[in-house]
A = this chain, B = another copy of it.
């Protein structure tokens, strides 16, 4: 029972697919078993950190909303998307030098550079072992999304410490890093359900916009979130020299704010106080309201893509998911 409760607690959102999400967790646990215990441990360090399972949720609901009913298939592929996400998180935390994630030390911090790189590779490979068993459409949709993430990483790196970053450029990064894989999960789910081309496209559009909204809210929470809930200290993006949506909006409204933010961004290791003052300044401009307005716009766009999807308990869950993504506090 303890075991069961633990598994269930990793998916805080319930959209009538708890059974499937529990099966995803079972599969994740099975797949990361290795003779090399550190690989298993480091993998579970991320997998059991209590992520939202947003990607499996979207993939499974997308499949079910088009009438898909083979639980084994969709659990399998949803597991693949969560593995890719976990691999990306581990490698991403190395790149960002991140020390906490979901309230825990990152794999990089806890296990070191070498193990973090290899564990990420291991999870990628396990995902490939799953995805590769499906047909060419599934493989190409997934591989393209993964390549997109790599490109988004590179783009973000190029943009880091750049002073004239635009909101459009920011959107391009989050499109590639966050939205494309969620779009791919939605499309693959719809495709495997045997959906018509227009419905697959529609669910892809849903996933893309949901993914954008999700990341925009994430970047807002970096300013407004309770560290106990979000699992990371506030102002992390500023500290890492990342100009995200609230900051970019704040900068666009006032040259004074702009200059003061750029000064902090330019520092190699800004003090906690400098970060706090900078965050306060961003909040004072009303940039958060504007950022949330933009995120809600993406949410609306996601909902519009569901217009032609039959009204079922599952498509209603997809709708409800948009609200949850926008209103979350962690």
Interface size on A, residues (CB 8 A): 44
Q: Which of A53-61, A145-153, A244-252 has 4 or more CB atoms under 8 Å from chain B?
A: A145-153
**Cα–Cα distance between A133 and B143 once the two chains are bound (Å):** 11
Q: Which of A86-136 contact B (CB under 8 A)?
A: 87, 91, 94-95, 113-115, 117-122, 124-126, 128-129, 131-134, 136
Flag if A118 contacts B150 (CB, 8 Å): yes
**Cα–Cα distance between A22 and B129 once the two chains are bound (Å):** 28
Task: Find chain B residues with CB under 8 A from A115 CB.
Answer: 154, 157
User: How near does chain B come to A88, taking the closest CB pair, in angstroms?
Assistant: 8
Task: Find chain B residues with CB under 8 A from A118 CB.
Answer: 91, 95, 150, 153-154, 157
User: How near does chain B come to A181, taking the closest CB pair, in angstroms?
Assistant: 11
User: How near does chain B come to A302, taking the closest CB pair, in angstroms?
Assistant: 25
Partner of A125, one of B94, B95, B117, B146: B146
Task: Find chain B residues with CB under 8 A from A91 CB.
Answer: 117-118, 121
Is A167 positioned at the interface, with any CB of B under 8 Å from its CB? Answer: no
Task: Find chain B residues with CB under 8 A from A264 CB.
Answer: none
Task: Find chain B residues with CB under 8 A from A131 CB.
Answer: 128, 132
**Cα–Cα distance between A139 and B114 once the two chains are bound (Å):** 26
Is A312 positioned at the interface, with any CB of B under 8 Å from its CB? Answer: no
What's the number of copies of this chain in the assembled complex? 2
Closest to A140 in B: B129
Is A279 positioned at the interface, with any CB of B under 8 Å from its CB? Answer: no
Task: Find chain B residues with CB under 8 A from A151 CB.
Answer: 34-36, 39, 122
**Cα–Cα distance between A252 and B197 once the two chains are bound (Å):** 66
Is A69 positioned at the interface, with any CB of B under 8 Å from its CB? Answer: no
Q: A125-B143, A132-B132, A143-B126 are in contact. Are A117 and B114 (CB under 8 A)?
A: no
Q: Which of A19-39 contact B (CB under 8 A)?
A: 34-36, 38-39
Over the window 152-186 of chain A, the binary record of Cβ atoms lying under 8 Å from chain B Cβ atoms (1 yes, 0 no) is: 01110110000000000000000000000000000
Partner of A94, one of B35, B113, B155: B113
Task: Find chain B residues with CB under 8 A from A140 CB.
Answer: 129, 133
Flag if A113 contacts B136 (CB, 8 Å): no
Task: Find chain B residues with CB under 8 A from A117 CB.
Answer: 91, 94-95, 117, 120
User: How near does chain B come to A168, taking the closest CB pair, in angstroms?
Assistant: 15
- Sort A-B residue pairs by CB-CB distance and give the 3 closest, nearest first: A132-B139, A129-B143, A132-B132
User: How near does chain B come to A284, taking the closest CB pair, in angstroms?
Assistant: 33
Q: Mind listing 28 A-B residue pairs with CB under 8 Å?
A: A34-B151, A35-B151, A36-B150, A36-B158, A39-B150, A39-B154, A87-B121, A91-B118, A91-B121, A94-B113, A94-B114, A94-B117, A95-B118, A113-B113, A114-B157, A115-B157, A121-B146, A124-B124, A124-B128, A125-B143, A125-B150, A126-B143, A128-B131, A128-B143, A131-B132, A132-B132, A132-B142, A133-B139
User: How near does chain B come to A190, taking the closest CB pair, in angstroms?
Assistant: 19
Task: Find chain B residues with CB under 8 A from A142 CB.
Answer: 128, 132
Task: Find chain B residues with CB under 8 A from A95 CB.
Answer: 113-114, 117-118
**Cα–Cα distance between A139 and B139 once the two chains are bound (Å):** 11
